[in-house]
Structure 1
Amino acid sequence: MPSNRTVWLAAWPVLAVFVLSNTPTPLYVLWQRELGFSAGVLTVVFACYIAGLLGALLVAGVVSDRIGRKPVLLPALGLGIVACVLFATAGSVLVLAIARFLAGLAVGAAVSAGMAAVNDVAPRRTRTAALASSTAMVLGAGLGPLLAGVVSETLPGPTVTIFVAEIVLLVSAVIVVARLPLPRPRGSERTWIRIPQVHPDGRGAVLRGIAVFAPGITATSFVLSLGPSVLTGLVGSTNRIVAGALAFVMFLGATGIQFAVRGLPVRAILLAGATSTTASMAALIVSLQTSSLVLLTAAAVLAGTGQGMGQFGGLTLINAAVPANRLAEATAAQNVGGYLPAAILPLAAGFLSDATGLAAGTTAFGIVVIAAAVAGGLVAGRRDRPRPQPAASTGLPNCAEYSR
């Protein structure tokens, strides 16, 4: 039987792909200077990433449950390598957009098939698999911009060297996936491409996860897309290490908080996540009014902890409630619900900032996300009603046990 060590090894491909997901963040200022595009266009490029991710989620979860994790993960890692080549050679906004789209496809597959693979090798359906998947995602997402900032400031080829290193990382992930002892698929005959459908036992779990995860990841998406522009406007800094470090501390907070709260009831974790996202947006708005770098950093960290708790809480509920042969699809459904507003709202904020100024666009964005986080907290805070049949009938822990 696979050990917990195998569980964490299975999370390595998820980490490797998510390093790629945010590597471009501190490099946008270079591409903007070289290619000459506005904040609105920058958020379009970022939205291409989320479009690719959502497209993959419509396919990867279903296909992974039906034919297995490896046939989905290995091509996805290959697309990540192609995206690295395009980033390293980008000479136009179009090439950047295509690279971001391909990176989104790779990440979408890792979110669904990769996280399900982590659960597949877990000795038991415990929180360990959810913790390994979720921390690999947020730690990788934070390491990418930090490494990109440091490498681009200290080594030759500021938009090339980091992507060569990422190719090496993705190749190592291919080796790990090829050697993982994954079970054969147990999926039923269903359509190949559709909006992810959730097993009836897990619908409440997915809804509660989305309610907190969506505002949290929307807040972090703003920091990743427009954060460097806000940083430049706030303190006049174009240093890519600073921009990368801002994203890193955000996801470091997202990683650390999951270990800190892993022993708490899921309901408490989700409520804390909604509260953290609300505080993040309040700090972001005030940071612009007071030109405070400290408050901007606090906003980033609180956004990360909000996303981290929403993601971990949601995954824990899903792992407890959904049968193994529908797990990837349920995970994909939670991420579709989270990433849709994470694409739309920062995109709207980017174009609004072009029209009215960065401060006004950011303030409007923050108010909308605060409203969503408060509503999410109300949804996540409701208590479960007793289920009519015992949990043993599905062979899985009762979801209510995790939320007490």
Structure 2
Amino acid sequence: MTDNVTTQQPQKSESETEQLRPPASSGRDAPPGVAPRWWVWLTAFPVAAIFALSNAATPLYVLWQRDIGFSQGVLTVIFALYIVGLIGSLLVCGVVSDRLGRKTVLFPALILALIACLMFAAADSVLVLCAARLFTGISVGAAVSAGMAAVTDVGGASRKRLAALLASTAMVLGAGLGPMLAGVLSELAPGPTVTVFAVEAGLLALALLVVWRMPVSRPRSTGSGAWIRVPSVPKNDRLRLVLGIAVFAPGITATSFVLSLGPSLLASLLGSTNRMVAGGLAFVMFLIATGIQFAVQRMSVPRILQLGAVSTVLSMVAMAAAVFTNSVPPLALAALLAGCGQGMGQLGGLSLLNASVPGHRLAEANAGLNVGGYALAGTLPVLTGYLSDLVGLAAGTMAFGIVLIVLAATGGVIVTATRKNIEPTPSR
């Protein structure tokens, strides 16, 4: 079985309505010659394992700030170097994966993630933290391009809806698992900045075994064009990519704020730096991001994108309420709504692309969606961090919320205005 075979487009007899609906978790077992259904689930595990590392450091920043000593602005730079590594990786990994195969990209990515684990565990300077975050971003870039496309490959043409759902939920569930483990283990286990990365290294080692046995192989053709380029999609699919980014980018930026500056804001409101609280809040945020995708999976994609935009707007309203009232419950509500915004924006964007992008361009298309999302998620929280150093965390948070409300609302308006252009034509 090759990548080209496993990612072929749905047969013409399949209705466009089904193509433009998000993935459903139901479906028959695979026909002879197609990977068993359980392999579709298992192939999503490396994505979850890498994303667990992506946010594992979140509750630990307050410890490193205390021990090493750095400002809120430097903290957001450390966080943003992850975005730099991720975007740089996406400029390469999508094309390489489509041309040379998923395993060619995933094996080195997992090794690099293991190295990042060792660096986090031994971190004694800002430079080491920066390098670890950069390596983490590179490995995550491989996961969102090659890893998520591998799930679609293994699922085959008849299970693209299930594959899109599993790939998307593996990403957000893993992103929430990391900070929860870090918060709990750093409070209860010895070595508060070491133990969690030992556990994470074990998950990554298991992911290497999964990739080794994964039922995908190299594609038949290596394609053409530059190997390093801004990810793109075929001309007919550009509107779908833009719509996905318009909602996904504000959603993931909201969750990125919670991950980077949320623990500091929580500490200022609670007067406590309990890492289990910060890690638990991040975990629940991504758990909601996972659950909401199952809850809305049968809605039309435009409706999911609209709801995602609304959730992000409401998240920032709740964030403002937390600052004005100096209260924790609105902050928790803001995190939950941010999770809804990212989850629905991500599911809607992936569903649009999976429905029409050819298999030999799918990893590059996934990379394009994430470049658009993470570019905003990397820049806006950093600017907010440095602004907070100048005017205070509360004022910086308010400015961030206003900007994101405008961007999310604009995304929702764009989806509404162009809905007819992506609505399916009823089958005859």
Structure 2-normalised TM-score?
A: 0.90
- Root-mean-square deviation (CA), in Å? 1.4
Alignment of 1:322-333 (within 5 A): 322-333=357-368
Aligned residue for 2:216, secondary structure, equals coil
1:357 equivalent in alignment to 2:392 = yes
Name the CA distance, whole Å, in 1 between partners of 2:267 and 2:179: 16
**Equivalent of residue 290 in structure 1, options 318, 325, 337:** 325
Counterpart for residue 401 of structure 1: 424
Deviation of 1:188 after TM superposition, in Å, equals: 1.2
1:373 equivalent in alignment to 2:408 = yes
CA contact (8 A) 1:266 1:313 kept: yes
Counterpart for residue 164 of structure 1: 198
**Equivalent of residue 17 in structure 1, options 50, 71, 75:** 50
Aligned residue for 2:261, secondary structure, equals helix
CA contact (8 A) 1:267 1:403 kept: no
CA contact (8 A) 1:266 1:403 kept: no
Alignment of 1:244-393 (within 5 A): 244-385=279-420
Deviation of 1:354 after TM superposition, in Å, equals: 0.3
Aligned residue for 1:2, secondary structure, equals coil
Alignment of 1:71-110 (within 5 A): 71-110=104-143
1:39 equivalent in alignment to 2:72 = yes
Structure 2 gap ranges (5+): 1-33
When residues 197 and 309 of structure 1 are mapped into structure 2, their CA distance, relative to the original with a 3 A threshold, is same
* AA of the residue aligned to 1:43: T
* AA of the residue aligned to 1:12: F
Deviation of 1:378 after TM superposition, in Å, equals: 1.0
Larger CA deviation: 180-189 vs 86-95: 180-189
* AA of the residue aligned to 1:231: L
Deviation of 1:202 after TM superposition, in Å, equals: 1.8
Deviation of 1:383 after TM superposition, in Å, equals: 4.0
Name the CA distance, whole Å, in 2 between partners of 1:246 and 1:264: 28
When residues 402 and 227 of structure 1 are mapped into structure 2, their CA distance, relative to the original with a 3 A threshold, is farther
* AA of the residue aligned to 2:367: A
Percent identity, please.
60
When residues 100 and 402 of structure 1 are mapped into structure 2, their CA distance, relative to the original with a 3 A threshold, is farther
Counterpart for residue 252 of structure 2: 217
**Equivalent of residue 229 in structure 1, options 264, 269, 294:** 264
When residues 187 and 275 of structure 1 are mapped into structure 2, their CA distance, relative to the original with a 3 A threshold, is farther
Q: How many residues align?
A: 392
When residues 402 and 9 of structure 1 are mapped into structure 2, their CA distance, relative to the original with a 3 A threshold, is farther
CA contact (8 A) 2:302 2:419 kept: no
Deviation of 1:131 after TM superposition, in Å, equals: 0.5
Deviations 1:189-216 (A, max 9, x none): 2211011121123211111100000000
Deviations 1:244-265 (A, max 9, x none): 0110111011000000000000
When residues 28 and 237 of structure 1 are mapped into structure 2, their CA distance, relative to the original with a 3 A threshold, is same
Structure 1 gap ranges (5+): 387-398
